[in-house]
Amino acid sequence: MTQRHSLAEIRERTYKARDAWWTVWLVDPLASRLVWLVAPWRWVTPNRVTVAAFLVGVGSAVSFWRHDWAWLLLGALLYHLSFVLDCIDGKIARLNGTGSVFGAWLDYVFDRLRVLACAIGLFGGAFHATHEFRYLWLGLAVIFLDMFRYLNALETAKVKSDMSGRLAAAGGAEATAAPAFGDDLQDDFRTKFGRFAAIRSFLLRNRIRVHVFSGIEFMMFVFIVGPLINQVAIVTIVSSALMIAFELLLIYKLWTTTKSFSRRLAALERVSV
């Protein structure tokens, strides 16, 4: 057993500078206290917590399959617990310095498998109970959007890294890749939407990303809010629309960044010549 850290130290060392509002408000307060309890125990490793989070997620999927409201409620609670555990593994890794490359891979793969299992449980169970094909289409939409958001995030990060490298190589070492939508809004946007600027300032002061409906909120609404209020179909449709809208904003931001990159690169190349 290692020395127990204070809650203040845990928050300082494990909280991300920017995170989803669901995580900041509904997960971090509980997760930090659980980390305070379990972090001193050496046998509680990040990889074991990752496996535990996945197993709880499977329990959520099994509960969803029953498609009775009491079971949907249990499934929603288990899904939230699974997500809390999924946050705890990273916090323990950062706090104790026990993270690993394999652990990052394991966390990523189990996250995707959990979404797949819960989508099958929630929408497959609804179809099995009602024989309404809309649930199969909604399940496919959730799986597709989850896949797309991760592919989009990975490819966006790759493109930004490439742009940053090319600018540095051309003599613009001070240049860095533009951050995600919301962290670098253009001046004319802020001028036209002053109220948005105030909201943005409030969110950033509270560690919340301006990209307010990310993949985390999408999953939480589909697998927690929808089952809790017993409105799986309508919540999934609204959440999917919001998810698509914010992903399009990210794509638009990337497009404007690439246009700016082309101009800056051309200017640097002219100077170097």
Residue 240 pLDDT: 98
Task: Determine the average pLDDT of the residues in 211-228.
Answer: 96
Asked if 219 and 114 touch (Cβ cutoff 8 Å), the reply is no
Query: Percentage of the chain surpassing pLDDT 90?
Result: 68
Q: How far is residue 263 CA from its own chain's centroid?
A: 32
Residue 208 pLDDT: 93
3-state helix, strand, coil in the chain (%, to 5): 80, 0, 20
Q: How confident is the model at residue 181 (pLDDT cuts 50, 70, 90)?
A: very low
| pLDDT per residue as tens digits for the range 132-175 | 999 999 999 999 999 999 999 999 999 999 998 888 888 755 44
Residue 141 CB neighbour total at 10 angstroms: 19
Residue 170 pLDDT: 81
Residue 161 CB neighbour total at 10 angstroms: 12
Query: Percentage of the chain surpassing pLDDT 70?
Result: 89
Higher pLDDT, 165 or 234: 234
pLDDT above 70 (res 236): yes
- The rounded distance, in Å, linking the Cα atoms of 244 and 261 is 25
Residue 180 pLDDT: 41
Residue 2 pLDDT: 66
Tell me the C-alpha to C-alpha distance, in Å, between residue 18 and each of 14, 74, 83, 183, 215.
12, 30, 17, 10, 14
What ranges in 131-223 are assigned the alpha helix state H? Answer: 134-169, 187-192, 194-205, 215-220
| pLDDT per residue as tens digits for the range 57-91 | 999 999 999 999 999 999 999 999 999 999 999 99
Residue 172 pLDDT: 56
Asked if 183 and 210 touch (Cβ cutoff 8 Å), the reply is yes
pLDDT above 50 (res 30): yes
- Per-residue HEC secondary structure of 94-132 comes to HHHCCCCHHHHHHHHHHHHHHHHHHHHHHHHHHHHHHCC
Q: How confident is the model at residue 261 (pLDDT cuts 50, 70, 90)?
A: confident
Higher pLDDT, 273 or 12: 12
Q: Which domains does the chain have, with CATH numbers?
A: 7-272 (1.20.120.1760)
Q: How confident is the model at residue 183 (pLDDT cuts 50, 70, 90)?
A: very low
Residue 195 pLDDT: 65
